[in-house]
């Protein structure tokens, strides 16, 4: 996706519409991978800061939590809702950090939006400490009733060809990351060891 300004325009309403779904997933992330005291956490594609925000009181035990995103509007809202979050406008495929500095790197519902998800994974791998943990999430096809309802509404309003064109622009790798085996393959090819997938 080359133009992220549309996210600037929807930032104020984003959490109202999507927040509860993303919060549930973020809570699951931290239940599976609770960061150790003193850890440094990076959230790639942080948006309104939902993933870091769901850390709650644990943020005070961490050495740092940084959220990066392309959308200045989303970052502004993230900073407002979580003052302790350090935010940075950055490309997921060209992160402005040294090698091997983060203990945990997250990218929740981000890889599908990248034109080159391999470059995004390579950057996550590069900035992660050798003992660090990378967590990514993606939707499966027709994940839940919300997805089904959204698909039905879109089908009534937009032609199938137009919808496919829009998805290809906004989330070019969404279809790829709907498949569990593809997720495993992408992570393994990027160099990550001990890959686990939790559908």
What percent of the chain is predicted at pLDDT more than 90? Answer: 66
Residue 48 reports pLDDT greater than 80: yes
Contact 90, 70 (CB under 8 A): yes
Write the burial class of residue 163 (CB in 10 Å: 0-12 exposed, 13-18 middle, 19+ buried): middle
pLDDT at 170: 72
Q: What is the pTM of this model?
A: 0.87
Q: What is the mean pLDDT of the chain?
A: 87
Mark residue 152 as left, alpha or beta (left: phi above 0; alpha: psi -120 to 50; beta: remaining).
alpha
Phi, psi for residue 51 in degrees, rounded to 5: -65, -50
Residue 73's pLDDT band, with cuts at 50, 70 and 90, is confident
* Residue in the structure block whose two tokens are 């790829």: 176
* Residue in the structure block whose two tokens are 């990027």: 190
pLDDT tens across 90-147, in order? 999 999 999 999 999 999 999 999 999 999 999 999 999 999 999 999 988 766 676 6
Contact 117, 173 (CB under 8 A): yes
Q: Give how far Cα 152 sits from Cα of 23, 112, 144, 149, 198, Å.
A: 24, 21, 13, 5, 27
């Amino acid at each position: 996706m080359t133009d992220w300004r549309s996210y600037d325009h929807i930032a104020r309403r984003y959490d109202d519409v999507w927040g509860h779904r993303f919060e549930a997933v973020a809570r699951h992330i931290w239940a599976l991978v609770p960061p150790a005291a003193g850890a440094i956490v990076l959230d790639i594609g942080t948006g309104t800061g939902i993933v870091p925000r769901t850390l709650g009181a644990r943020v005070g035990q961490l050495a740092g939590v940084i959220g990066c995103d392309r959308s200045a509007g989303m970052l502004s809202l993230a900073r407002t809702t979580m003052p302790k979050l350090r935010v940075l406008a950055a490309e997921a495929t060209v992160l402005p950090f040294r090698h091997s500095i983060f203990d945990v790197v997250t990218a929740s519902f981000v890889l599908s939006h990248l034109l080159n998800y391999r470059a995004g994974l390579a950057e996550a791998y590069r900035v992660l400490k050798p003992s660090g943990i990378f967590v990514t999430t993606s939707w499966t096809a027709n994940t839940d009733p919300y997805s089904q309802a959204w698909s039905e509404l879109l089908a009534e309003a937009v032609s199938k060809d137009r919808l496919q064109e829009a998805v290809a622009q906004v989330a070019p790798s969404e279809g790829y990351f709907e498949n569990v085996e593809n997720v495993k393959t992408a992570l393994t090819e990027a160099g990550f060891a001990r890959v686990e997938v939790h559908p």
